[in-house]
Amino acid sequence: MQEEHELGFFERYLTVWVGLCIIGGLALGQIFPGLADAFEAAEIAGYPVPVAIALFLMIYPIMVQTDFKKILKAGKSTKPIVTTLVLNWAVKPFTMAFVAWLFMRVIWSPFIGYELGSELMAGMILLGIAPCTAMVLVWGYLSRGNMGHVVVMVAINSLSMVVLYGPLAVLLLPVADVPVPIGRVAFGVLAYVGLPLVAGHFTRKKLLEKQGRERFEEFTSKLHYVSTAALLFTIVMIVAPQSELVLTNPLLVLLVLVPLTIQVLTIFGIGYYASKKLGLPYDDAAPTAQIAASNHFEVAIAMAITLFGVDSGATLAAVTGMLIEVPIMLILVRLCLKTRSWFPQVHKSKI
């Protein structure tokens, strides 16, 4: 029985493919400037239909390889759940607010001014209060983490976002009335957790019952390429509509990129260190730190556009978060894989 999936050719060089897809998305947006309008004309709960389909295809293969019993077991493991919740809601929003203030009010202030600095701060904060609920499934899978824990935390974070997103935004943002994107969050839970989980569970169950484990392993060995291809397609489709905003403000993108990178690395380090001190096994520690470090950039971009406008500094900051998230998280996945020996090896990953 295969204990853990091996990184294939595309996964080993995923950082390269992601970089090419970001460039391709920027180019596509310039070649077809009406792409953003076309996407807006075909949306479901704020998600363009091509992106929604690609995200489903990205998550479904992972769910097929996730044992439903591990999800139930993970739901009873309070230590990694509580650790992840504290990092996401009691630590990350405030570290992001501090990093945003430090750079936009102190370090970069002489170059960008007060008003633009306020908008860039707002975009960064919108990222910090929106924990990721889709991409973390990929990071957990690639780092050979406990997928049961990842699925449980994605569901809990999605529900928590409905309650906590608005109050945190009001507390940390220079605005008084912040709408909670309940429709977008609910659709995300259904499309990127619920449907892939149900479809993956029944696919796994039927294949194992009727075809046996050998045929099941043959099927899943090919299916993971679907997830990788869907990830790359998703990046192109998300970047393309934002190409004009990015390419017309390259210096501002760089000024936002630096503090966002520091924030992601800092919160990952806090999560990874806390997991080690708490004695979490590697397959819980890796996704705990990754979930803390990741942001729900789709929600952040939507809220930035709603509150400040499509051409605002806040939207630019949220889009920058989208551009850097995947490359940085892939680097952190490799870091996790190289440091597995730092943690107890308790759980066994099974497909």
pLDDT single digits (tens) 177-190: 455 556 666 666 66
Q: CB of 74 within 8 A of CB of 146?
A: yes
Q: Is residue 346 part of a domain?
A: no
The whole domain housing 180 covers 9-338
Dig out the tokens for 1 from the structure.
Answer: 């029985």
Is 298 part of a structural domain of the chain?
yes
Between these two residues, 123 and 179, which has the higher pLDDT value?
A: 123
Residue 349: its pLDDT value, please?
A: 43
CATH at residue 153 = 1.20.1530.20
Please identify which residue in the block is written with the tokens 């780092």: 143
Given CA atoms 212, 215, 221, 227 in this order, what sign does their dihedral have?
Answer: negative
Is 350 domain-assigned? Answer: no
User: In this structure, is residue 170 part of a structural domain?
Assistant: yes
**Residue 351 has what pLDDT?**
39
Torsion of CA 334, 340, 342, 343, to 10 degrees: 130
- Tally of domains within the chain: 1
Residue 2 placed within a domain: no
Does 300 or 41 have the greater pLDDT score? 300
Structural domain includes residue 349: no
Q: Which helix (H) or strand (E) holds 216?
A: helix 212-239
Q: What is the dihedral of CA 130, 136, 139, 145, to 10 degrees?
A: 120
Task: Read off the pTM.
Answer: 0.76
pLDDT in tens, 293-350: 998 877 787 778 777 776 688 888 888 888 888 889 989 999 999 999 998 876 544 4
Q: Mean per-residue pLDDT for 114-139?
A: 86
Place of tokens 């924030």: 263
- Residue 134 or residue 177, greater confidence: 134
E-only strand ranges, the chain = 43-44, 47-48
Q: Kind and range of the H or E element at 197?
A: helix 195-210
